[in-house]
Structure 1
């Protein structure tokens, strides 16, 4: 979740697996659990002291364990969920279960622009004003290390290798872009490579940890650099064979498919482009296996097309089947947004791909990626799409849109028709809705969070005769916080 500027209310943050939610309510930091095994409830309250209570800028929950379950068991590792809250000059960290104070980093150089957990829950990574440096703190030893001149102060500019946690960073020490790779925990330099780029825009590790992909600014045309895990240039992708560079508008973003198979290995690298196409590169050769275009063609195979519509004056919504000729008559204004394919998201097993092109920012395209990739379904909405989220082990896709009049969640499933359900929380005037799956549920249900910066609801969808209903399991809001008097309460330092 993004942090906010000083004086603004911090958003509610949800953990990566959906099991925990943290909310800053005045001088209280309230922790909730959405885990089925613990029953959704308020887990504890942390009483914050000044100046943290009034000057908090960053609120983050730690990521899932960096190790596979079998590796964790072999090494005797225990992953515990942690929470950090930071001001401009101080970072405080708590362990959530059991709830207790864990560590504090004092006298941090003023002007933190981005703060998050590092290679694991025992590390914190801090970016400083003007991209002068990165400081990496190890909480149990108090050790700190510095990497100078990061190019960006956001997740586009760095990444931890899956499982083994080496750190890759884009730097800009002078006129050239530089990629460095560092050892886990010690952060000793493994390799340093000057990039053949004009203005590199970001890097992403492949989920199998074999490759680092770096993409170039769109103004330089299509250019994606593939580096090995130790920082050696392996391939340079400049577009499909035979393409005309004179009409090449460049790359908007990239995304790897999940690692799967006996290896496991990532099968595809999706290159989303400014011209509205997506090149799928084989991870074996890094050549274009197919290119997906966001245009509708009537051929021997017709994808299902669904259009959002209002059911009544009360604002209830539904999907209705539509023909190719009528589906795209509704269009949102995307003139102020960057051009190109802005969202590219693979399903849990990599067999499906969801995309959004900013020329029609209200449309979700869902592709089936088999031996012959094809358009599976198209979902047309009244408002711009805000977020896409695939279920962690089912072919189900959650969609939120920027509908400021109605709080509603959209669900597409490979096994049935898409549905829309209103969520019983206050609408957000800016249309800022977020969705997040809960990774595990004992009953096998599809459980998820839906919310705004002020309020979150945990629930499931039930469908009867085509009508969808959101079933509330738990609510997180100001009222829920103050009404829980029987939960654990600790001070900022756990005393």
Structure 2
């Protein structure tokens, strides 16, 4: 809470790589940097002209190779925007770099574009998208974007051409624009009822677009210049009467050996996941969230509380007993709502809304199979792979003491309490730091407080080692731990 009034909650926006955090206190813009290194902790404060901004965004930590390193951190920027002004701040040191004034009120989204020198403004009612260049002072306009959501547009990896869904009239359009100039070089009228989103493949070769679920399974694969390559309508031999359509799609990462994305996962409303090979975009395997007792028995772990204070641990359980005790969702939304590949693409973690408390972990090599399942008392909020190693953080909605759940293919999964303020909502946020240290460092926090630390094992007990914490007063102490 704010130190002076006791009424303003901490609200921290984290950069994509986790190296920076920003919050607003009154008219002060407060930026935290180097959170994993107590010796180099920094807090910088600048004065805002506008009232509390509606948007607070960091520029991406990109390099020409698409990797994260010291060069990618330099030149980083932060934008703050309200209904009349966009301010762009240079980091290290924190100072005002540029301003865009007299913008139209009611913007649906404001963010950085292809790099830190471009600002995107999605105008009210999706009438247009304005791209402002901080280098030239000029603006480009794309009319009638279909959505201001990040699934409505995307930049091609490496070369950063923009693909965007448009809705000028009754038909959906895909257009592809050159980086910087935004000249049109690809355009296609989509054979969709209501396109729900697009995603570039990590290798930049393909654009996947999926239709509304009521249209049944329909995933369109376009080339990078907007030419239709394949239409996927589901695995052969499936009765269309039972086809409930697509919920979302996810590409596997581009491997270092071939620099290609080998798999497109299609998450369905019925809870299945079709795995498409990217050579032919036909279904090679279908994963099911309906566990069959007679199939290969995976490693199954169930969360259980070990004390009245809310301490918990994973206990190995038989597959039949664990899944028979899993509560099913009573909400109207069905389908696969989380699919995330491990950094090397050999593992896939999923959550199905019908059993929102279960994390399913699939091994995709040599042939797809269920490798492990983790059953929790409460719904899963986040499932996040470490950016470079197969470690998985699991975050559940819980009114018990703040805890983080960790899984890897080489060890027993663990639950560790985190020494931070308890959130009344039971909702916390996680984010790994992209750093090459021996320990894997991550953020954990809520609107009350964020802590930065890592998990360690001492005398058989798993502890969360605190490097630092961020509150409304700035950084906290840099020592402390909490065992599970």
- TM-score normalised by length of structure 1: 0.91
Q: 2:58 aligns with which of 58, 61, 78?
A: 61
**Are the counterparts in 2 of residues 199 and 216 from structure 1 also a CA contact under 8 Å?**
yes
Q: CA deviation at 1:261?
A: 3.7
- What is the distance in 1 between the residues matched to 2:9 and 2:122? 21
**Is it true that 1:266 corresponds to 2:261 in the alignment?**
yes
Deviation per CA, 1:379-407: give whole Å up to 9, x if none: 00111000111001111001111113321
1:8-407 to structure 2, matched below 5 A, reads: 11-34=11-34, 36=36, 39=39, 41-49=41-49, 52=50, 54-65=51-62, 67-68=64-65, 80-299=75-294, 301-332=296-327, 334-407=329-402
Q: 1:415 aligns with which of 410, 415, 434?
A: 410
Corresponding residue for residue 450 of structure 2: 456
Does the residue aligned with 1:468 lie in a helix, a strand or coil? strand
**Are the counterparts in 1 of residues 38 and 467 from structure 2 also a CA contact under 8 Å?**
no
Change (3 A) 1:106 1:38: farther
Change (3 A) 1:341 1:69: closer
Change (3 A) 1:464 1:296: farther
Does the residue aligned with 2:378 lie in a helix, a strand or coil? coil
Q: How many residues align?
A: 471
Change (3 A) 1:456 1:71: closer
Does the residue aligned with 1:430 lie in a helix, a strand or coil? coil
Q: CA deviation at 1:28?
A: 1.5
**Are the counterparts in 2 of residues 419 and 466 from structure 1 also a CA contact under 8 Å?**
no
**Are the counterparts in 1 of residues 35 and 468 from structure 2 also a CA contact under 8 Å?**
no
Deviation per CA, 1:442-467: give whole Å up to 9, x if none: x3211001111332110001124553
Q: Which moved more, 1:417-426 or 1:213-222?
A: 417-426
**Are the counterparts in 2 of residues 363 and 378 from structure 1 also a CA contact under 8 Å?**
yes
- What is the distance in 1 between the residues matched to 2:391 and 2:17? 16
- TM-score normalised by length of structure 2: 0.93
Deviation per CA, 1:142-161: give whole Å up to 9, x if none: 11111111111110100000
Q: Which runs of 5+ in 2 are unaligned?
A: 1-6, 478-484
Q: Which moved more, 1:460-469 or 1:276-285?
A: 460-469
Q: 1:424 aligns with which of 398, 419, 426?
A: 419
Does the residue aligned with 1:325 lie in a helix, a strand or coil? helix
Change (3 A) 1:70 1:341: closer
- What is the distance in 2 between the residues matched to 1:408 and 1:35? 20
Corresponding residue for residue 480 of structure 2: none
Deviation per CA, 1:252-288: give whole Å up to 9, x if none: 0000000014330001000000011100100111001
- What is the distance in 2 between the residues matched to 1:462 and 1:72? 25
**Are the counterparts in 2 of residues 20 and 31 from structure 1 also a CA contact under 8 Å?**
yes
Q: CA deviation at 1:432?
A: 2.1
Q: Which runs of 5+ in 1 are unaligned?
A: 1-6, 484-495
Corresponding residue for residue 438 of structure 1: 433
- What is the distance in 1 between the residues matched to 2:38 and 2:131? 33
- What is the distance in 2 between the residues matched to 1:263 and 1:111? 45
Change (3 A) 1:138 1:341: same
Aligned Cα root-mean-square deviation (Å): 2.3
Change (3 A) 1:77 1:425: closer
Q: CA deviation at 1:423?
A: 1.1
- What is the distance in 2 between the residues matched to 1:403 and 1:182? 44
**Are the counterparts in 2 of residues 32 and 41 from structure 1 also a CA contact under 8 Å?**
yes
